[in-house]
Each structure stands twice: as structure tokens, then as C-alpha cells.
């Protein structure tokens, strides 16, 4: 799975999704953008990705629910995950990292440079493990 360099972006806000896509593609990181967790889950069943970048709060299947499904799937369990959230003061980041094994949590608004640095760090670490 980790030989694939594409990133799956799950973001329900069209403006935010577009900005993320622009940032990733400008840095040479191919991505697929999906607007909700259900569609992301379906896509993860048939395609491989190097990293998941997901919003925390989405209608339907939330970021945590998506991550929980991923971590229970043996084929996807080691997929690096970065969660994005606007809930700066309401989230227990330690719990997300420990219970859901989220690699990083980034607060919105975030710096595009910080996003790219986080993605590269976690993709490189995953490639070393594989």
C-alpha cells in the first residue's frame, strides 16, 4: 500500500477542500478529494493511498468514525492519518492520537507549509516501516 503516493483528502467544505488540493498538487503530491466519510470508506476498499487527510467533523460518517473503521481493517490499519479540525478547544488531541492512532492533529486554520511538512514526515515514516 505504501508504494502508492496518492493522498486521500476527506473534507466536506468545498473551499477548504479546494485549498488543500491546490496546496498538495502544487507541491507534487497527487491527491483524491472526497466530500464525506462514507465515500472515503468505499474508496479505501478498492484503492490504495499513502496517507489519509481527514476533517474531524463531517455529516454522516465523522472523521473519528472513519478512522475507527480504518484501524479495524487489517489491510488499512497502518495507513498514516492526519486529522484536521476547527474544534481547537473542544478536542482531546491525546485521545485521538492514542485511542484512534491518528498520527497528527492539525488545527484550522493551518499553514500550508506546516501541512506539507506533516504529510511528508508521516509518509516518510510509513515508508521506513513498510
What is the share, in percent, of the chain residues with pLDDT greater than 90? Answer: 66
Between 14-26 and 112-129, two packed helices, what is the crossing angle to 10 degrees? 60
- Total-model pTM: 0.89
* Per-residue confidence (pLDDT) for residue 1, from 0 to 100: 37
Return the C-alpha torsion angle 44, 49, 51, 56, nearest 10. Answer: -20
What pLDDT digit, counting tens, does each position of 113-124 carry?
999 999 999 888
What pLDDT digit, counting tens, does each position of 27-67 carry?
999 999 999 999 999 999 999 999 999 998 888 899 999 99
* Per-residue confidence (pLDDT) for residue 22, from 0 to 100: 95
Give me the domains of the chain, ranges plus CATH numbers: 7-129 (3.40.50.2300)
Amino acid at each position: 500500500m505504501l508504494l502508492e503516493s496518492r493522498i486521500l483528502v476527506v473534507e466536506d467544505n468545498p473551499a477548504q477542500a479546494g485549498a488543500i488540493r491546490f496546496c498538495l498538487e502544487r507541491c507534487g503530491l497527487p491527491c483524491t478529494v472526497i466530500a464525506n466519510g462514507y465515500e472515503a470508506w468505499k474508496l479505501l476498499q478498492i484503492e490504495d493511498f499513502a496517507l489519509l487527510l481527514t476533517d474531524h467533523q463531517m455529516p454522516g460518517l465523522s472523521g473519528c468514525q472513519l478512522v475507527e473503521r480504518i484501524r479495524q481493517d487489517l489491510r488499512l490499519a497502518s495507513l498514516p492519518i492526519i486529522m484536521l479540525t476547527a474544534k481547537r478547544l473542544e478536542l482531546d488531541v491525546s485521545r485521538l492520537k492514542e485511542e484512534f492512532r491518528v498520527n497528527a492533529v492539525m488545527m484550522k486554520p493551518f499553514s500550508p507549509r506546516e501541512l506539507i511538512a506533516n504529510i511528508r514526515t508521516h509518509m516518510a515514516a510509513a515508508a521506513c516501516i513498510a
